[in-house]
Amino acid sequence: MASTQKKNDEGFFQKIFGDMFASSDPEAKKKRELKLIGKQISKSKYKFYKLQAKQLLPPFAKLFYDIYKIISPAQTMFSNMQTSNVLKNAIIEYYLSDRQKEALARLSDDYIISSAEKTGVKELYAEVKKDIEVLSSGFDSQKTISIEILYNQFMTFTSFVSYDFFMLLKKFDPSMQERNFSSTPVFSPVKASAAVDDLKDFLAVAWALPQKTDWTILIKFVKAYKSVDLVQAGLWNKVVARLNSMRAERTLENIIEYTTDTPGYHAPPAKTNEKLIEVYLNKLKTQTEQTLKKISTDKKNSKTGELLNAIFGTTDVVKLKNYVNTANEYFIKRGLPQYTLCNPLNYLKAFLNDYFKKDVRELSDFILVRGKWVSPELSNEMSNAYHSLLEISEKITAFDDSLGENVASGSKLKSLSSKADRDKEALHALQVSLKDVNNQAFTFITRSSQYMIVYAKTLKRLIDEVDNPKPELLMNWQEIIHVSDGAVKPLMTRVYKMLYQFVSLLQIYIAEKKATSA
């Protein structure tokens, strides 16, 4: 009797402690969870699974076949559709107001390039900026939300219909033919382990579909965009309702968990929405900027070529030895800063050497040396500008010589550039030195332009009064005309035209430098 009581007590305490510590045994806990999952599968209204055999049954395949039949036309459509970026733009532009559509049309490459033929680059930049502001301001919060909803619908729907329903269904009926719905396939049970990976892939796209959304928005958009019906709205809504029901019940997750003996399976989370409008506008801005830059470059190159040919008879003008484009090859190979004003400085040196010191000097001998001015003050500006330009010519030569490899400045640049790829201090010092060099070149260019303008302004007044019986600048025109054998007026006209063309050439580079420094 005492022995029986003792056994009962042991059994009682064993039961209590067994229940208390059962949860600490992972395998026991897993078995209990799988048993519970099995009960949920048995009670489910969806008779998809045979527990003992771990098989997927024909009703499971029938559900997927019904979905496949409904979305098959959309599969064909999306397989022929354009890239996602094109579709993003189409979705955004679907919501544009008439005013935004007009602004967008003016932001196309064709329209901008066409406008450039009759509009200056500066005015074109202003017009493009205005149209981008019109386009941007039209995206209020409500429109932005609507666009993001439609895009999310589109992307999740595309992923869903792109799922390979056919390959899954062939496991249940190997004789089934792709997109052939003329006869009903005969489905047989399949080992769930053979289809579990397909089922996981399905959940990744199916559960990404938004549960509460109006799918008619997407259907209307595709109808407007492609002039075809995406799916029948009523049938698609039934599919979504069925999926939502299974999602709430965890029907498919339970099958995956029971088949793989791994409770707690969850489909991967859906991707968050992209910042569509911000990306769209930034891309549009970049595109228009590139178009405008190309137009600006093309116009500059065209204008530069015309002026170079008019002034020098060629576009290949090199007068310096060290501050030249070929010297930049060393810097470019190492990804280093460069000489940025080689072209205009070489043009300036060539002009001062080949033209200024000849035609301008000859003319200055006539009007500044032989000319009798009404007052010295009237000739001072012209004379100062002339001599300043002669000085700049000599300074450019000295500047160029200083950049030679065997001279202090050039040797320093060479040394710094050889270390710059591995020494931050050397790179910084090189950047500072090259900036100083380029700034010096820019100073030569801007000051020369200013002096040429001063010289040309007085020259224009002289041309206007050469035949005037009451001159206001020179009092001895007849003497100068006689000494020059009548060549002074043609010479003045030629020099003025030459100065005007060359200043126009320099101004292209001055404006470009100021724009990049702003």
Place of tokens 């409500």: 142
Domain ranges of the chain: 2-43, 49-83+140-274, 317-517
* Rounded Cα gap, residues 345 and 510, in angstroms: 11
pLDDT of 50 over the 80 cut:
yes
| pLDDT at residue number 223 | 87
What average pLDDT does range 243-251 have in this prediction? Answer: 94
Q: Select from 245, 269, 244, 255 the least CA-distant residue to 196.
A: 255
- pTM > 0.85: no
CB 419 within 8 A of CB 334: no
Residues 51-87 pLDDT 10s: 999 999 999 999 999 999 999 988 888 766 655 678 8
pLDDT of 6 over the 70 cut:
no
| pLDDT at residue number 80 | 62
CB 322 within 8 A of CB 345: no
* Rounded Cα gap, residues 426 and 416, in angstroms: 5
Tokens of 341: 């004003």
Start-end of H helices in 140-271 = 141-161, 165-170, 196-206, 216-226, 233-249, 251-260
| pLDDT at residue number 8 | 54
Residues 276-322 pLDDT 10s: 899 899 999 999 999 998 998 888 888 999 999 999 999 999 999 99
Residues 9-29 pLDDT 10s: 555 555 555 555 555 688 889
For residue 5, name the pLDDT band (cuts at 50, 70, 90): low
Residues 344-396 pLDDT 10s: 999 999 999 999 889 999 999 999 999 999 988 889 999 999 999 999 999 99
Q: Select from 166, 161, 177 the least CA-distant residue to 75.
A: 161
Q: Select from 455, 462, 458 the least CA-distant residue to 484.
A: 462
